[in-house]
């Protein structure tokens, strides 16, 4: 087990979900970007660093197929226990900076990242993340990135962060993606601290919508 995985496992093993510094009881801030999208039958959503987010339950209720990926086996076990065995859910223990399985090439309709990308610090890791995203999201698919903004906190979960602007998100996604919605949103964490995020919703060029 890597040091990083152990760090996250220790957090998920020692805290209730409601005590996690990023916990949302209400996931409508994400859903308001997702719900207006045209939903194809059995569309596949990929959640890098899914953690134990209640977004999982909301997406299942909407009929999506889910790939829940996380570096923490404990997080995957906890979320798996909560939702129970589900034919539409795949749990993938994986470091999102490392190459995804080739079977995921163009298999993802919607990629949703809340508070994961910003933990990748080295250029190698960031490029690994975006190479995965480019390979997995189908033409016409969508990507929602929600990261600490440039005025946000410099650390989360005891780890340093690479904070994002909309411009950097767009630059890293490149010409294949068009920005279709964005918002600066301040999340209040369970300790009452404000945590400014930037949300960017992008569409990958391609024939199908
Ligand atoms: C701040 S939490 C956010 C969890 C979830 N996205 C949410 O909004 O509730 C960060 C999550 O990313 C996971 N994570 C951190 N680094 C990762 C990496 N390199 N690859 C995959 N998952 C990672 C952590 O285990 C944790 O579940």
CA 5 to ligand 1 centroid distance, Å = 10
Whole-number pLDDT of residue 50: 98
Sign of the dihedral through C-alpha 79, 80, 86, 91: positive
Question: Do the bridges between strand 108-114 and strand 44-48 make them parallel or antiparallel, or are there none, so unpaired?
Answer: parallel
- Global pTM reads 0.97
To which H or E segment does residue 27 belong? none
- pLDDT tens track for 124-183: 999 999 999 999 999 999 999 999 999 999 999 999 999 999 999 999 999 999 999 999
Whole-number pLDDT of residue 107: 97
Whole-number pLDDT of residue 38: 87
Evaluate: CB of 49 within 6 angstroms of ligand 1.
Answer: yes
What's the distance, CA 94 to chain centroid? Answer: 13
Which atom in ligand 1 lies closest to the alpha carbon of residue 125? 19
Evaluate: CB of 115 within 6 angstroms of ligand 1.
Answer: yes
CA 123 to ligand 1 centroid distance, Å = 18
Whole-number pLDDT of residue 40: 76
What is the residue-averaged pLDDT of the chain? Answer: 96
CA 207 to ligand 1 centroid distance, Å = 32
Best CA proximity match to 114, nearest among 66, 90, 148, 164? 148
Beta strands in the chain (DSSP E): 44-48, 65-70, 89-93, 108-114, 137-148, 155-156, 159-160, 177-188, 194-204
* Residues of the chain falling short of pLDDT 50: 209
User: 88 φ, ψ to 5°?
Assistant: -100, 10
Nearest CA to ligand 1 atom 18: 95
Whole-number pLDDT of residue 209: 47
User: 97 φ, ψ to 5°?
Assistant: -80, -15
């Amino acid at each position: 087990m890597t040091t990083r995985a152990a760090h996250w496992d220790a957090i998920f093993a020692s805290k209730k979900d409601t005590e996690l510094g990023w916990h949302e009881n209400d996931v409508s801030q994400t859903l308001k970007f997702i719900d207006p999208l045209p939903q194809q039958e059995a569309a596949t959503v990929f959640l890098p660093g899914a953690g134990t987010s209640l977004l999982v339950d909301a997406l299942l209720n909407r009929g999506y197929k889910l790939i829940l990926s996380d570096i923490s086996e404990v997080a995957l076990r906890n979320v798996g226990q909560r939702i129970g065995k589900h034919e539409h859910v795949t749990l993938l223990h994986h470091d999102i900076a490392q190459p995804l399985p080739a079977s995921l090439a163009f298999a993802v309709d919607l990629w949703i990242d809340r508070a994961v990308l910003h933990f990748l610090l080295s250029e190698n890791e960031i490029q690994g993340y975006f190479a995965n995203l480019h390979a997995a999201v189908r033409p016409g698919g969508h990507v929602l990135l929600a990261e600490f903004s440039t005025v946000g906190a410099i650390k989360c979960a005891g780890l340093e962060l690479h904070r994002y602007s909309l411009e950097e998100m767009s630059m890293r996604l490149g010409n294949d993606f068009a920005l279709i919605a964005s918002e600066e949103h301040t999340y209040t964490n369970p300790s009452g601290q404000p945590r400014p995020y930037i949300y960017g919703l992008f569409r990958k060029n391609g024939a199908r919508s």
